[in-house]
Amino acid sequence: MSWWRTDERGPLNAHATSHDTNSTIRVLIGDDQPDVLRALRLLLKSEGYRIETASSAAGILEAIRNTDFDAVLMDMNYARGNTSGQEGLDLLSEIQKIDSTLPVVVMTAWSSVELAVEVMRRGARDFVPKPWKNERLLAILRTQIDLGRALRRSRQLEQENVLLRAESRHTLIAESAAMRPVLDKIARVGPSDANVLITGENGTGKGVVAQTLHGISTRKDKSMVTVNTASIPETVFESELFGHVAGAFTDAKSDRLGRFKLADGGTLFLDEIATIPPQLQSKLLRVLESGEFEPIGSSKTCRADVRVLSATNADLTADVAEGRFRQDLLYRLNTVEIHIPPLRERREDIPLLAAHFLRGYVAKYRKTVTGFDTAAAQMLCDYPWPGNVRELDHAVERAVLMTQGELIRPGDLGLPQSRETGPRFEEMTLEQVEGWLVRRALSRCDGDISKTADALGLSRAALYRRLEKHQIQ
């Protein structure tokens, strides 16, 4: 018997140093006086910072839109003869709209208490009068760079926590001959950075295989972010993957990191990859080829170092032939393909899986169930399992909840009998008829989502919505 486990994964290290070397720190200096720019460039270069300069408010905004900076050091006045500081105040408001986490330190020779208060209200992190003291200016910059990076990291962790599953341990159980090629490929490919396409019927355990691949890879200490592409509406698909900036569209009230950025350094698992709309496949291809993308509403090019695992129960080769899926994208996704056989082809694993699920639910619900009686065990082995491992999991959970003894009996499993029961067709509501038709089609197509969708005249995304609506596993 083979037991593959991914170790419990805690949150990413929030106490990492703010930067490895000062050469990775980018600082933007904004001032209309060439002498000031030169002096500040020399001062900050001595610290090892990478420096860019701008001599106008428009130039500062353009630089921030196109480049990731760790801090901005800027003057408050840019038009000749203007000493009010209004240009700087307006500029601060615009910078806040672009990136509210970017530390901005302002400088001016025309300082006052009122201006300092308004500057801080508009989002500046600190206020330095001209002429400046080198040691104080450098100390302020170091502090604000560290705080800014910590703030950005905290925001990323908050968004990661929303996406990561509550379960921290995943187990792949396999003993059957049909699963040996799967285990062999996992062992060979897992430690690499190769993109893997996982195929198989709905419910066969494609997500568990993805977790196992991540758990034995060099990226196991980083995040694995999962995206079910079938559940994402087409209108927000690009935002989900690549993120957006505040104001990019009506409901974009704040910046949002996309899944690629959240998975940076780790693994991105794209489940139901065949459901990605054709017009968005080219954007995904670009990221896979270059690692680069732009959040919606931003012209700034971002990079993400991500290993991509994907899964589908569709025949992507047929989809390519029919023009529904890009062939070049398929090549990028399936450096290696791992096909998981359906549960009916690996029946030797059914008792092992059932016992595993039983232990988990007995502990979860604090029941005194010890196993399955002979008839129930036989029923588990004889049943065709159109919903595969997922259906077995839910059947065992139901049985643990329903049984009144120490042993689970056939009736506790809730599996359909040879003769259908329930209300007559003419007595059903429209909603019941829809659920009945979906179940019949799913059973007739052996759990194949693509075939079931075609049989019902639906798209795969529409079928998934009905499966969720009727709680069909």
Q: What is the pLDDT of residues 14-53, one digit of tens each?
A: 333 333 445 478 999 999 899 999 999 999 988 889 999 9
Distance in angstroms (rounded) separating the CA atoms of residues 153 and 18 = 10
Residue 299: predicted pLDDT: 80
Query: Which pair of tokens denotes residue 355?
Result: 């016992």
The DSSP result for 93-154, as a single string, is HHHHHH-TTS-EEEEESS--HHHHHHHHHTT-SEEEESSPPHHHHHHHHHHHHHHHHHHHHH
Residue 251: predicted pLDDT: 72
- Domains, the chain, ordered by start: 22-159 (3.40.50.2300), 171-341 (3.40.50.300), 344-413 (1.10.8.60), 425-469 (1.10.10)
Helices (H), 368-429: 374-382, 388-402, 410-413
Nearest to 236 by CA among 220, 250, 222: 250
Q: What is the pTM of this model?
A: 0.58
Q: What is the pLDDT of residues 354-393, one digit of tens each?
A: 999 999 999 999 999 989 988 888 889 888 899 999 999 9
Residue 469: predicted pLDDT: 81
Residue 167: predicted pLDDT: 39
Residue 10 scores a pLDDT above 80? no
Residue 301 scores a pLDDT above 90? no
Taking residues 159-173, what's their average pLDDT? 53
DSSP letter for 214, please.
H
Cα 268 to the center of its chain, rounded Å = 6
CA 280, 442, 468, 271 dihedral sign is negative
The mean of the pLDDT values for the chain is 83
pLDDT class of 157 with cuts at 50, 70, 90: low
Q: What is the pLDDT of residues 204-226, one digit of tens each?
A: 999 999 999 999 999 998 989 99
Q: What is the pLDDT of residues 230-265, one digit of tens each?
A: 888 887 888 888 888 777 776 766 778 889 999 999
Residue 3: predicted pLDDT: 38
pLDDT class of 6 with cuts at 50, 70, 90: very low
The region that residue 277 occupies, defined by phi over 0 for left and psi between -120 and 50 for alpha, beta otherwise, is beta
Strands 2-5 and 171-174: antiparallel
Distance in angstroms (rounded) separating the CA atoms of residues 29 and 106 = 10
Residue 211: predicted pLDDT: 92
pLDDT class of 168 with cuts at 50, 70, 90: very low
pLDDT-wise least confident of 27-41, 107-121, 150-164: 150-164
Peptide bond into 131 cis (omega under 30): yes
Higher pLDDT, 2 or 99: 99
Residue 418 scores a pLDDT above 50? no
Higher pLDDT, 11 or 39: 39
